[in-house]
Amino acid sequence: MIRSIRILTRTGTAVLLAAFFLTAQADDTTSGLLKLSTELDEARGLCFDIAGFRDNIDLDVPMQAHTCKSNPNAQEDEIFQMNHPQPGNIHNAAYDVCVDVIAIVERGSVFVRPCSDSATQQFELTDDQELRPVGDSGLCVVVSPTPSYPAVRAGRTPEPGVTNVARAMSLAPCDEVEDALRLWQFPSRKE
């Protein structure tokens, strides 16, 4: 999206640029998978995922990094929109919830909750591909360093040869976690 802004005075420059930046963030309508930049032990990649699926969705369980789903008809719990409905929010339209860390503390779990303007729901995807709570906490959303575990839908027998995997996600000091566990890709970012 290209916008034309005429700047009339030096005093108004910063205000106009700030308003443009916030509007551009709020207008970002790109939806897609929020994917870990490295495959780790899952060739299909690991994506932000709400626990459960459809009738078994569980909004009270922490989110997980789960096998990225290639079937668009089965991705609703993995599709997110950045900066919606407010700047900083990471929104899932299928369940009308936003990513929330409840408290911005080391080892804090990642959940989804009804969207709000709470600081615990404000994130930025940096140019370095770190997903950070807005502010100066020094924390990033990361995946567990332990190997992925099999992820099965409640009450279902996994299909032979088809196994999805998952890893826990939490907040951790960005400078203490290896890149493979803390760098994320989103469709609206250059990869």
Q: According to the model, what pLDDT value does residue 8 have? A: 33
Q: According to the model, what pLDDT value does residue 191 have? A: 35
Q: According to the model, what pLDDT value does residue 184 have? A: 97
Q: According to the model, what pLDDT value does residue 190 have? A: 34
Q: What is the CATH number of domain 32-185?
A: 2.80.10.50
Predicted structure pTM score: 0.79
Q: According to the model, what pLDDT value does residue 116 have? A: 95
Of 162, 141, 142, 139, the closest CA to residue 152 belongs to 162
What is the residue-level pLDDT of the chain in tens, covering all 191 positions? 333 333 333 333 333 333 333 334 444 568 999 999 999 999 999 999 999 888 888 989 999 999 999 888 889 999 999 999 999 999 999 999 999 999 999 999 999 999 999 999 999 999 999 999 999 899 999 999 999 988 865 555 555 566 889 999 999 999 999 999 999 999 844 33
- Give residue 55's Cα distance to chain centre: 22
Q: Are strands 131-133 and 164-173 parallel, antiparallel or unpaired?
A: unpaired
Calpha distance 15→121 (Å, rounded) = 25
Phi, psi of 124 (to 5 degrees): -135, 140
Q: According to the model, what pLDDT value does residue 26 have? A: 42
Q: According to the model, what pLDDT value does residue 74 have? A: 86
Listed by start position, the domains of the chain span 32-185
Element spanning 100, H or E = strand 97-100
Q: According to the model, what pLDDT value does residue 153 have? A: 58
Q: Which two tokens stand for residue 25?
A: 């963030």
Cα dihedral across residues 49, 52, 56, 58: positive or negative? negative
Element spanning 112, H or E = strand 111-113
